[in-house]
Amino acid sequence: MKFGEQLRSSVIKEYQWYYIDYEGLKADLKKASGPVVEGDQAGTTTDGASTSRPKTKGRSKREWTEDDETRFVYRLESELEKVYQKQQLKTIEITRRLQTSERDVNDIVARLNDRQPGKDGPSEEEFMVLEEDLSDIIADVNDLAKFVQLNYTGFYKIMKKHDKMTGWHIRPVFEARMKAKPFFKDNHEELLVKLSDLYNIVRTRGNPVKGDSASGGSQGNFIRNTTKYWVHPDNVTELKLIILKHLPVLVFNGAKEFDTDDTAITSIYYDNTDTWELYEGRLKKTEGAEAIRLRWYGGMDTDKIFVERKTHREDWTGEKSVKERFDIREKHVNSYMKGEMLPAAIFDKQRKTGKKPQSEYDKSERLAQEIQWEVLKKGYEPVCRSFYHRTAFQFPGDLRVRISLDTDLTLLREDNLDGHKRSGDNWRRMDIGVDYPFSQLPPEDICRFPYAVLEVKIQTQAGQQTPEWVRQLVSSHLVEAVPKFSKFIHGCAVLFPERIKLLPFWMPQMDVDIRKPSTHNFGIQRSSHSGTAGTSEDEEDDEYDSDDEEARPPQKRSNDLLAPSNSQAESNAHGAAVAHRLRQAQTDGTVDLEDQTQLLPNSQDDSYVLYESDEEEEEEERLEEARRVGGITYYKTLVTTKAKAAGRGAASKLRNAVSTVRMGSEIPAHERTIALYGTTQVQTKKFQAPKGKKIYVPVRVEPKVYFAAERTFLSWLEFSIYIGTIATTLLNFGDKPTKISFIVSGVFTLVAILCLCYSVATYIYRSQSIRARKAAKFHDTWGPTFLCGSLIVAVGLNFAFEGRERHWW
């Protein structure tokens, strides 16, 4: 979709006169007033300095003058002022409304606590009014976030278009002016926490859940089922507001004044830089694969460091993957990791406090001994750091459902390889802290992840099932399922390209736009807002690039409203029955939320693209410019453009025809897919691993897979024995052994030997593939066909020779 179309379709009624006039600014760029110049002439400024205007391949155009630039900059400045003023006024309005709601909530809670026996407290209607007011504030925050995001993208798009069309570079100067009026930098994190607190009080009718919100202690060792998703920056605010409706924001220290640094989480991952055994173990998900990391919450001055070990368990073992950890003082980390301080010395002082049962101290000490032994024996050292800001949603003290959203995810090198001393002899590098975006680091030391990471954690120990609203959330257009995504794996794969040869399966997906059209009536809904307010029909526009990272504003906080899915007519035809079966299957555990992407049908149109290409856009611009020039230039450009368009159309039709012949009849979408995603076509993309590297596709291997391969081999062996028995009978038990019976027996013997050899080779291939966890094709295409054909030939020859022997023909 082009950005102009995106802007027109996303206009909110309240803001319709305050959006950037993208169409008007784009039209201004076509009103150059200078003399006509040939395309192969380089542009010059008024002082004679050469510009970097690109050559126009022989076509003529009017020169962009200083007066044109002044006019355009003045209009762009006025658009920036308009957007900035609206954003400031709306932010003040939301803040005041929230303050008023806070006073009302405090008043109603005080009345509830001070009510006398026999007297009625606040009515249900009063709570409902407060809940509606807070929901309206939530919707306002969401609308403001969308308004800011679209305008931020619009300014960068028009700057990019200006520099490309005129050759004058406005972007560096105007970026500074945007920083002076930073409508895109308003941080709503504190507002989100306050909204969450108030909404939780009202939703629970003045009785919010109480419990321990500490980041350690009770959350140390537990079994849980975790599903992971990517969230595009455009959807982060809305996603947070949706979760806010069901789970409160978890604040670790409610007595402390809120600080953004308190949401920062940093982890240091260890591995052997020669073998990368922890990396490959976690990537291949082998039984018992471990990850060892040191984690702290908040800034660099935090004294409590958590030493953690994550252990992967295969399903067939009957066990669940477990995260275990213990805390240690920061000043003791180096001596502990180097083996200079034994675990007994660490826990002696903790035992004296008596804050935990002695059994927990014993368990933590055993864990500390095992981790220390592994680090020293296998030569583990710091290799990678992950940093992000986490917004956690959870009822305090209740681990049954926990949702976390990690934004500003950054991966950094911690190793001392390549002659660079990053961490040195210390357990972490000290030249950086929590100062995102870490602009002081060289590009080779850092990877800024383009998406937020959503984790849905269900505590399986308590037999907890996934709530219905969570199922709707993770099947919506706001998230992209990425099963088994790992920050550690991604960081190593990106930061060590020369040393890592086996890449995770999601790497090719990094170049694909994960945004999807809304296929469900899901999200924040407000009937008073119109869908569109634009009237322009101009189709010449910038494409809405997914790879334009600078056209994304810094993330704000947001809220959202959950609405039932009712927008798909095709789904509603049988939606009730399908949805019931789907919910039942998920309740029974037969559908894995992480594997739901496997239910999507494959697209048969490989030529489908989400956005039009730069080449097509440039052709439209050349044709428009040639039309203004006229004459032979216009007709020459017109013929060239039409010829290229016809060639692309013919190639597309040919690919479609070949694809239809090759793929045959279309397979209808699975009913689960329709229930979750509607009838939207799924985009597919072919990819190839970089030279010298491989993409590892995870394969689940259970013991029964080995037994299945062995049973198949024994079945083939049984058939071979039967055929060999027939051959032996024909050769040795005839009344008068003849040359004919010998030939027929030889044919059956040959078939038996071939079947035996084929079964042995197939069994060895399958066993090796299973053992290596390869994504091999285990279906047998030729074996049964060969067996049946050979038997038909053998029986036919036997019948023919026997008939000839009896003189029947």
Q: Which residues are catalytic?
A: 487
SS3 65: coil
3-state secondary structure 272-323: CCCCCHHHHHHHHCCCCCEEEEEEEECCCCCCEEEEEEEECCCHHHCCCCEE
How far apart, in whole angstroms, are the C-alpha atoms of residue 369 and residue 374? 9
From the CB of residue 195, how many other CB atoms can be counted at a distance below 10 Å? 27
Vertex 373 angle, CA 372 and 378, to 5°: 105
Secondary element (H or E) of residue 217: none
Vertex 784 angle, CA 780 and 786, to 5°: 110
How far apart, in whole angstroms, are the C-alpha atoms of residue 460 and residue 474? 18
Which backbone phi and psi does 189 adopt, to 5 degrees? -65, -45
Which backbone phi and psi does 209 adopt, to 5 degrees? -70, 135
Measuring CA to CA, how many Å separate 280 from each of 225, 484, 492, 503? Answer: 22, 14, 10, 9
Angle between helices 783-805 and 703-732 (to 10 degrees): 10
How far apart, in whole angstroms, are the C-alpha atoms of residue 422 and residue 404? 30
What length is written for the chain?
A: 809
- Comparing CA positions, the residue from 17, 199, 246 lying closest to residue 104 is 199
Secondary element (H or E) of residue 611: none
Both structure tokens of 677: 């995603």
Residues contacting residue 503 through CB under 8 Å, at least 6 positions apart: 493, 689, 690, 693, 694, 695, 696
- Looking at 380-532, list the stretches that DSSP marks H as alpha helix, in order from N- to C-terminal side: 468-474, 487-495
- Comparing CA positions, the residue from 291, 496, 481, 533 lying closest to residue 413 is 496
From the CB of residue 315, how many other CB atoms can be counted at a distance below 10 Å? 10
Rounded-to-10 torsion of CA 96, 98, 101, 106: -110
Mark 247-259 as b/e (b = at least 16 C-beta within 10 Å): bbbbbbeeeeeee
Read off the DSSP letter of residue 561. -
How far apart, in whole angstroms, are the C-alpha atoms of residue 446 and residue 408? 13
364 half-sphere exposure, CB direction, 13 A CA radius = 25
